[in-house]
Structure 1
Amino acid sequence: MAPVPTRLLPGRPDPLGATWDGLGVNFAVFSANAERIDLCLFDPSGRREVARLSLPECTDEVWHGYLPEARPGQLYGYRAYGPYEPRRGHRFNPHKLLLDPYARQLHGELRWSDVLLGYRPGGGRTDLSFDRRDSAPAMPKGVVVDDSFAWGDDRNPGTPWDRTVIYEAHVRGLTMRREDIAPRERGTFRALAEPQVIEHLQSLGVTAIELLPIQAFLQDRFLVARGLKNYWGYSTLSFFAPEPRYLVESWMRNELKVAVRRLHGAGIEVLMDVVYNHTAEGSELGPTLSWRGLDNASYYRLVPGDERHCINDTGTGNTVNLSHPRVLQMVMDSLRYWVTEYRIDGFRFDLGTILGREGHGFDPGSGFFDAVRQDPMLSRVKLISEPWDIGPGGYQLGNHPPGFAEWNDRFRDGTRRFWRGDGGIRAELAARLTGSAELFDRRRRRPWAGVNFVASHDGYTLRDTVSYEEKHNHANGEDNRDGHNDNYSRNWGVEGETGDATIRATRLAVLRAMLVTVFASAGTPMLLAGDEMLRTQGGNNNAYNQDNETSWIDWALAATPEAEALRRFTARLVALRQRLPPLRPATFLHGATELRPGLNDISWFDQHGKPMTPEAWNDPEARTLALRRAAAAEAGGVDVTLLLLNADAAGHAFALPQPTLDWRLMLDSGHPDAADRPVLDEAVPVAPRGAVLLAARLA
C-alpha cells in the first residue's frame, strides 16, 4: 500500500483541474476570495478521507499543488477556507466537501440531507447561520482520469448546415424499451452505439443526434422527496464529467467515446444539450456542493447591494456569472474539452439568453459570444441557442450573433395554429416557411440560423399535439400547474386516445401535414425522437421528472402499421429535402431574382394559381397557400418546387401557376404511400388538411 502523502509540491496554476502527467497529478482550482484551500484524498471506496493537504501556492487567484506518484483513479475533493459573510456574498465553509468544478469523472452518488447545507436550517437566521457538520459522507468525489482513447480514423462528418437534419433524443428514453438490447445496457451510451439504434437513425436520414444533457447532473431534493427523478437533466453537477447513470459501469467513460465514434462512422454528428446558465446548487438556500463553497461571489450573479441573494434569471434559483473571466474560462474550457476529448460536433445552449447577459442586460456582443466566435475550435462546431430566459428582456429570438442558430418557437406556434385551422395565419406561416427572414436575415446570417420544429422535449409530442387540448401533468406532482398552458393544439373531437376511425384519420392527416411543413421550410429541421413513430406522453407537456414509460420511446408501438407508415413517410420527407435544393435554400429568398422568364426565386399563389394580393394575405378565412421556389442547379439548369397547403376541412383543387412546367408530384400527405408521378392535369387535388409537393427541372 502506498504511503499516505504529507505534503504537496508547488505544481502549476494551469491547466485547471486534476491533470495526470504520468508521474503524478497537478491540482489547480480557482478562488479569488478563499484564504486557504485543502485537497482531500479518499480511499477507493470514497468513504474514508485518507489525507488532507493544503494547496501550497496561489498564482493569479488559482490555488495549486502537485502530488507525486498519484495516478488515475485517485478520488478527491476540496475544502475552502474564507469568510462566511452571506450579506457580502461569501459562503466559505470548510466543513463542506466540494467537488472540483473541473472534475472529469464522479464517484458515488449524492445522498440528500441537511448536512449538505452550509447553514443550519430551521432557525430564524436561516442561511446567516453556520453549519459545522462534515458533508463528505454525503458527497460524490472527483476522480483523476486518463483521457487517452484509440480514435483510429474517426472523423467529424462535417455535414453542412443547409443539409443538417437534427434528431432530438434522450439517451435513456431512446433505448429503455428496446427488447433487442441487454437490460443492463438499456438507457446508456453503450446502447446508443448499438447497430440497431444507429440503423434506425440512418433509415430516417437524419444527420445529427442532439442529446439532452449528458453532463453529470443532480437528482433534485424536491423530486427525490416526491419519489420522482430529474429525467431531463437540466441541473448540472459537473460541466466536465459524463452522467454516471448513462454508463454501464460508472468508471467506463469511454462508452460515450465508442458511441460517438460509431455514430461518426455512420455519418451522424453528435450534438450536446448543455446547461451553463445555472448549476445544481440552486438559490442561496440551496446546498454547498462546489462553486458556492469555492467562491460564491465570483461564480454567481448576486443582487447588487444585497449580495446575500442570487439573481434568478433562470427560474432555478441561481445564474452563472459569465461576466467573470474565470467563470467564462470554465465554460470555454468545458466546451473545448467535450470537442477534443469526446469529439462532440456541436452544442445546444439551454436558456441561451443568459449566456449573453452582461450587467446592462442581453448583449449579442457579450464576452461569451465573443469568446466562442473567435475561438479557432469552437467557432467551427455547430452552435444552437435556446434564445430566451425568464429575466428582464429575456426573449431574444433572432438577436443572437452570426455563427449561432436559434430554436424558433415562432415556427412551432405558427405551424400548429395554421394546421389546427386558426384563421388569419397565412402570412405568419409564409414567414416561417421562408426561414423567418424578418428575424434572421441580418448580419449576413443564413436561413439555417432558424431551427424549425413543431415538437421538442419541452412540450407535447407531435402525436399529443393532435390529441390533447389540455395538458395532463398530474403525475408531475404539481397539481397540473406546471408546463405551458398555450399549446396551440387540437384534439379533433375527443381528448386523448380514441378508437374513432374518423378522428384518428384526421389526426394522422394533420400530423403528416405538420411534418411536411417542417421539412419543406427554409431553415434547419429538428425532429423529436419518436415523433416519426407516434410517440405519446399521454398529454404530459412537461415530462421533466417522468423517468418511466411516459417518456421512454415505445418500440412495440413503433412496429404497428400506423407507426411504420409514418416512419416511412418521415424518411421520404428527409430524402426529398436532401434531393431538392429549393427546400433548403442557402440564402434568404425575397422574389427579387428571376431565374427564367416569369420564374422568380420565390413566389406565392392562392389555390386558383393567382399571385397573392394584399387582400388575399389578410383574408382571415383563407386556409390555403401555394409556395413556389426555384434554385440554380449545380450541374446547370434550374430546380423548382411547388408546395400546396390546405388546412381546410374540405379538399381543394389547386390550379397550377404560370409558367407551365413539367411537374412531378413528389409527395402527397393525403396519400402518403403513393409513388411520385407526372402531373398531367392543370389542377392538383389536395386532401383536407393536406400538403402536396411538386417538383420540376428546367434545363
Structure 2
Amino acid sequence: MSTLKEGRPYPRGAHFDGKGTNFALFSDHASSVTLCLFDAQGESETERVTLKECTNGVWHGYLEGIKPGQLYGYRVDGVWAPAEGLRFNHNKLLLDPYARKLSGQIKWDNALFGYTISDDPDADLHMDERDSAKFMPKAIVVKPDVLTKSPKPDIRWPKTIIYEAHVRGLTMQHPLIPNDIRGTFAALSDSAIISHLQRIGVTAIELMPIHAFAQDRHLLDRNLSNYWGYNTLAYFAPEPSYLGSGALEEIAKTVDALHDAGIEVILDVVYNHTCEGNHLGPTLCWKGIDNLSYYKELPGNPRYYDNLTGCGNALNTSHPKVMQMIMDSLRLWASVYGVDGFRFDLALTLGRNENGFNRDHALFHAMLQDPILTRCKLIAEPWDVGPGGFQLGSFPPGFSEWNGDYRDVTRQFWAGKEGMLSRFASRFAASSDLFNDQHRRPWSSVNFITAHDGFTLHDLVSYNEKHNEANGENNQDGANDNHSWNCGHEGETDQEDILALRAQQKRNFLTTLFLSQGIPMLLAGDELNNSQQGNNNAYCQDNEIGWVNWENADDALIDFVGELARLRKEHNAISRAEFVTGKLNEHGNSDVAWFNVNGEPMSNEDWNDPCNKAMAVKFVPPDKTGHAILVMLNASHVTVPARIPYCDSYDWKLLLDTPLKPIPNQQGEELVLEPRSIYVYEGRLISR
C-alpha cells in the first residue's frame, strides 16, 4: 500500500516531484473520490486510494513512490439523480481531465455507459452497475515538462500566411517520408514537409485537433473512423496515434524543427464540447466526475444538455473551474510545447452564458489578459448551432475570426453570380464593415476559400454537387449549397478546355486569397490539385479520400502559390497593418482606389449594376518606400475591353496574370481582360 499524504489542490492532475506524485481532481458535487492505480498494461487494478482531502471542491492527495509511467484513473461517488443533472456512478472508471498522456484506447462496450442501455425512453435514469475499467484508456503519470528549445518565429500578423493541415492526412501519402513515421508528429518535422512549406511560403501551419480524441462507436460499426478529431477525450494529452515514438518530446522536437524553419504552429482546439455526447452518451470523464459543473444543462431540465454545438453537449465555460481547465490547457500547449496560437472551434459556444453570446465573457477576458496567451495568435470560429449562432465580427479585439462570408462571396463572384461586385470588394478589402471598430486590425479577418470542412479547391471547380456516399449516410450529410461550379462537367474529365478553365479558376481563387487584405488561409493540398472525389464532409475518411494526394502535385501550381506568397510578404500594400479607408497619403494618393474597366473611378452606377463583374483596385502602401499594387479582375465569361487606370504617380509593371497571357503595361492603353481573369501590377513611384 502506498502512503497517502495530504497533498495540494493545485496544480490539478498528476504531478511528479522526484519522490512521489500529487493527485488533484475537481468535483464540487461528489461525496468521495477514489484514485485507482493499474499495472503497466492497464489491465489489472492494483490499488485503490480514497482521497480524503477536499479544498474548494478539489480532491487531492500525495503518494510517495508513485513515479512516471504509473497508470491511473478515478472512481467518483455521489448522488445518482439524472433528472437533477447528477450522474455519479462509482462503477465507472473515469479519465483524469488533466491527463498528460494516455495508455490504450476506448474499447466500446455497454459497460461504458452510466445507465443500462435499453429501448426504455427513461433508460438513462437507471444506473448501470457494471465495471467499465477494462474498457477504458488510462492516464499516465509523466515526468516533469521538457520545454521546446528553439525561439519562436514571432511572425507579425500582417505577414502571416496560414496553412491548415491534418497531422495524419498531410503525411500519410508523401513518397519521401519513411513509412514508419507517416501520420505522426515526426513526419511533420521531416525535411520533405518543411521544404515544401517553405517553397509555398506559408508562415504558420494550423493543425486540426491533436488533443486525444474518441472514436465514435457508430462510425467504427460502419468501418469508418473519427478522422478529423473534433471529439476531445483529453485536453492536456496528445492523440496517442500521432506519436510515432510514443514520447511526448516528439511534439516539442517537431515544433522546434518548424520554428527553426521560420514556421509557427497553431492548434485547432475543441473546448466547446467533449466526446461524451448527450444524456445517452458514455460516461468517460467529466460526466461522471461532476456533470452539473462541467456541462451546460437545458434550462429548467438538467436531465438534458443544452446542445449548442450539435455534438450533444456544451462545456459550461462560465464555471470558474471549467474556465481554469481551459486556461491551464492553453498555457500548457503554449509554454511546454511552444505552440504559437490557437483556433477555437465553435468559439461562439465558449462565450455563451444564460443570456446568449457575450463578447465580454469572462473566458475571453481571461485569455486576453494572460501573459502567455497574449503573445499567441487567437482565432475564433464565430458560429455554433445555438440561437443567434452566427456572430461574424462580434468577438472582442485581440481575436481574429474565420471569415465564412469571405468564402461564400468569393466563391459566388468567381462562379459568375450577378450583383456580387460590391460585396466582393468589401471582402477583398478585409471586411472593414465587420471588423473595423474598437481599434481592430485587418488581421481580424482570416480569409479562406476552402477549409477542412467542405470541398477542396480542386473539387470546388470540378463538382456542382457533393458526393458523400462513402460516408454511409445516403449522401445526406455535408452542406448542400457549396457555391461551386464544375466548369461544364461533373467530376473528373479529359476534356482539355474544361481542364484549362479549371486550372485558371484555381489561379483566380488563389490570387484573390493572397492579394486580399486580411490574413490568407490555404487548405493543405490545394496547391497540389488534391481531391476528395467530391466529398465535402470527409470527417470519417481516414483513407485516400481524406489524405492529401502528393502524386498529382502540379509543380507549376506549387510555384504559382509560392510566387503569390512572395508578393504578399514583399508588398505592404496588400499586407497592411491598418484598414484601407480611402484617405490620402503625402503624395496625394489614397490608400485604396476602385476603378471601372475604363480606368475611371467607380460610380454608384458601376457598383450597383448587377451585370458588372469586372473592375480594378489600387492599394497604396503606408510607407513611401513601398510599391503600389493594382489588381484588375474580370469574373465574367466574356472578354472585356479595359484600360489601366491613369495614375500619374506610378509606373506600372505586370507581375502575374491568371490566364497566363500577359497584356500591356502602359497606363491608358487599351487592352482586353480575358474571361475569368486577374492581372496584378506593381506600381513604382515616378521620381519628380
With structure 1 as the length reference, what TM-score do the two structures score?
0.96
The amino acid that maps onto 2:537 is: N
Task: Give the drift of 1:697.
Answer: 2.0
Which among 531, 549, 568 is matched to residue 577 of structure 1?
A: 568
Matched residue, 1:668:
657
Matched residue, 1:520:
515
Mark the CA change 1:618 to 1:677 in structure 2 (over 3 Å): closer, same or farther: closer
Matched, 1:566 2:557: yes
* Cα distance per residue 1:589-637 (max 9 Å; x no partner): 111224423x21111111110111111111111110100111233xx44
Alignment partners' CA distance in 1, 2:67 and 2:251: 22
Matched, 1:652 2:640: yes
In percent, how many aligned pairs have the same letter? 50
1:555 is paired with a residue of what secondary structure?
Answer: coil
Matched, 1:696 2:687: no
Equivalent residues of 1:666, 1:677 under 8 A apart: no
Which among 68, 71, 75 is matched to residue 72 of structure 1?
A: 68
Task: Give the drift of 1:286.
Answer: 0.3
Mark the CA change 1:57 to 1:150 in structure 2 (over 3 Å): closer, same or farther: closer
The amino acid that maps onto 1:537 is: Q
1:439 is paired with a residue of what secondary structure?
Answer: helix
Alignment partners' CA distance in 2, 1:413 and 1:649: 20
The amino acid that maps onto 1:613 is: S
Matched, 1:201 2:189: no
Matched residue, 1:483:
478
Alignment partners' CA distance in 1, 2:200 and 2:506: 17
Alignment partners' CA distance in 2, 1:187 and 1:630: 44
Alignment partners' CA distance in 2, 1:540 and 1:382: 31
Matched, 1:507 2:502: yes
The amino acid that maps onto 2:654 is: L
Matched, 1:264 2:259: yes
Alignment partners' CA distance in 1, 2:245 and 2:154: 31
* Cα distance per residue 1:34-93 (max 9 Å; x no partner): 000000000001000000000120001000000101111000000001000001100000
* Cα distance per residue 1:211-242 (max 9 Å; x no partner): 00000000011111111000000000000000
The amino acid that maps onto 1:586 is: A
Alignment partners' CA distance in 2, 1:89 and 1:189: 39
- 1:222-621 matches, within 5 Å, as 222-250=218-246, 252-558=247-553, 563-597=554-588, 599-621=589-611
Alignment partners' CA distance in 1, 2:442 and 2:420: 21
- 1:107-118 matches, within 5 Å, as 107-118=103-114
The amino acid that maps onto 1:417 is: Q
Q: CA RMSD in A?
A: 1.3
The amino acid that maps onto 1:139 is: M
Equivalent residues of 1:629, 1:640 under 8 A apart: yes
Which among 96, 100, 111 is matched to residue 100 of structure 1?
A: 96
Task: Give the drift of 1:658.
Answer: 2.4
The amino acid that maps onto 1:140 is: P
Alignment partners' CA distance in 2, 1:637 and 1:547: 49
Alignment partners' CA distance in 2, 1:541 and 1:60: 47
* Cα distance per residue 1:131-188 (max 9 Å; x no partner): 1110000000000011433644x11100000000000000001010012222121010
**Greater alpha carbon shift after TM alignment, 647-656 vs 71-80:** 647-656
The amino acid that maps onto 1:75 is: L
Matched residue, 1:35:
31
Matched residue, 1:10:
6
Alignment partners' CA distance in 2, 1:438 and 1:588: 10
- 1:141-220 matches, within 5 Å, as 141-149=138-146, 151-152=148-149, 154-220=150-216
Alignment partners' CA distance in 1, 2:396 and 2:582: 26
Matched, 1:20 2:16: yes
Equivalent residues of 2:644, 2:667 under 8 A apart: no
The amino acid that maps onto 1:135 is: S
* Cα distance per residue 1:286-321 (max 9 Å; x no partner): 000000000000000001221100110000000000
Matched, 1:625 2:615: yes
1:693 is paired with a residue of what secondary structure?
Answer: strand
Alignment partners' CA distance in 2, 1:611 and 1:123: 69
Alignment partners' CA distance in 2, 1:334 and 1:397: 26
Alignment partners' CA distance in 2, 1:632 and 1:439: 22
Matched residue, 2:80:
84
1:582 is paired with a residue of what secondary structure?
Answer: coil
Alignment partners' CA distance in 2, 1:566 and 1:629: 25
The amino acid that maps onto 2:575 is: R
With structure 2 as the length reference, what TM-score do the two structures score?
0.98
Equivalent residues of 1:595, 1:638 under 8 A apart: no
Equivalent residues of 1:147, 1:341 under 8 A apart: no
Alignment partners' CA distance in 2, 1:348 and 1:78: 31
Alignment partners' CA distance in 1, 2:242 and 2:517: 35
Alignment partners' CA distance in 1, 2:390 and 2:145: 42
2:552 is paired with a residue of what secondary structure?
Answer: helix
1:616 is paired with a residue of what secondary structure?
Answer: helix
Alignment partners' CA distance in 1, 2:55 and 2:348: 33
Mark the CA change 1:413 to 1:567 in structure 2 (over 3 Å): closer, same or farther: same
The amino acid that maps onto 1:30 is: F
Number of residue pairs matched by the alignment:
684
2:654 is paired with a residue of what secondary structure?
Answer: strand
Alignment partners' CA distance in 2, 1:157 and 1:588: 25
Equivalent residues of 1:644, 1:654 under 8 A apart: no
Equivalent residues of 1:468, 1:489 under 8 A apart: yes
Which among 100, 124, 127 is matched to residue 127 of structure 1?
A: 124
Structure 1 gap segments, 5+ residues each: none
Equivalent residues of 2:645, 2:667 under 8 A apart: no
The amino acid that maps onto 2:208 is: L
Matched residue, 2:56:
60
Task: Give the drift of 1:639.
Answer: 2.4
Task: Give the drift of 1:564.
Answer: 1.1
Mark the CA change 1:343 to 1:684 in structure 2 (over 3 Å): closer, same or farther: farther
The amino acid that maps onto 1:223 is: L
The amino acid that maps onto 2:302 is: E
Task: Give the drift of 1:685.
Answer: 3.7
Mark the CA change 1:14 to 1:638 in structure 2 (over 3 Å): closer, same or farther: closer
Equivalent residues of 1:632, 1:639 under 8 A apart: no
**Greater alpha carbon shift after TM alignment, 14-23 vs 121-130:** 121-130
The amino acid that maps onto 1:641 is: I
Task: Give the drift of 1:249.
Answer: 3.5
Task: Give the drift of 1:670.
Answer: 1.0
